[in-house]
Amino acid sequence: MQAWRKPLQSLVAILFTWLIGVVVASSDLFAETPLLRGLSLADLALFLTQLVILVLLFVLARQIQAALPENGRIASFLRAILPPLATLVILLLAQNLILDIVAPYLALWGEHLLVLLFWLLVIATAAWLVWTSYCHAPELIAGVLAFGGKLGQLPKKLNTCPACGAHRRDDGPYCSYCGTRLETGDSPAEKS
């Protein structure tokens, strides 16, 4: 639990940043104070709130990565893909955020150039995610196989019929579904 303390703190910080940003931006003073070309102080407050949340999301992703164990299985795979995955999500969210604020002040070619820049970054980050997933796929496969092995042992731990696989509700000498005689360690025939 100690390893997850910082990610939880960051999650609380994200929630409070959002809450405070919305409360501040919805105040009459911020909503009615114009800045430039239809941009109000409330718009700027929401922009800064969302920008801080994106930074905190990146910090959260790094903290989750540090909290995940390096076990050569699924946790290691998640640990490896978290940076490119978080970067990709943040880029996709930041594109709209930044375009909403700066687009009114850019010429059409400037807006197109900014969109092109973001999409080049998104494509490069997506390629980074795919490559990282490919390189760490053996860890994912090992984790899935280990999990599958545990699932294979599950019917043995549950009280199941070896013939039909049905779950046995009692420890009687016969399966109540298929009628197969069951081996029990405490049957009267085995005690004598």
Higher pLDDT, 157 or 107: 107
Per-residue confidence band for 189, with pLDDT thresholds at 50, 70 and 90: very low
What residue spans define the domains of the chain?
2-145, 159-192
Q: Give the sign of the dihedral formed by CA 66, CA 143, CA 72, CA 89.
A: negative
User: Cα dist. 69→63, 77, 90, 186 in Å?
Assistant: 12, 10, 24, 43
Give pLDDT, residue 187: 46
The Cα–Cα gap between 56 and 46 comes to 15
* Token couple for 191: 């005690």
Q: What is the pLDDT of residue 184?
A: 63
Average pLDDT over the chain, rounded to whole? 83
Residue 186 clears pLDDT 80, i.e. is over it? no
3-state SS assignment for residue 186:
coil
Tell me the mean pLDDT in the region 39-54: 89
Of residues 168 and 190, the one with the higher pLDDT is 168
The reported pLDDT for the residue numbered 190 is: 44
Q: Which of 51-60, 108-117, 179-188 has the highest mean predicted lDDT (pLDDT)?
A: 51-60
Express each pLDDT in 116-163 by its tens digit.
Answer: 999 999 999 999 999 999 999 988 888 888 877 766 665 555 567 777
Q: Provide the percentage of residues in the chain whose pLDDT is more than 90.
A: 40
The two counts, helices (H) then strands (E), for the chain are 7, 2
Mean pLDDT, residues 24-46 taken together = 83
Would the pLDDT of 90 be above 70?
yes
Q: What's the pTM value of the predicted model, to 2 decimals?
A: 0.67
- Which of the four pLDDT bands, split at 50, 70 and 90, describes residue 40? confident
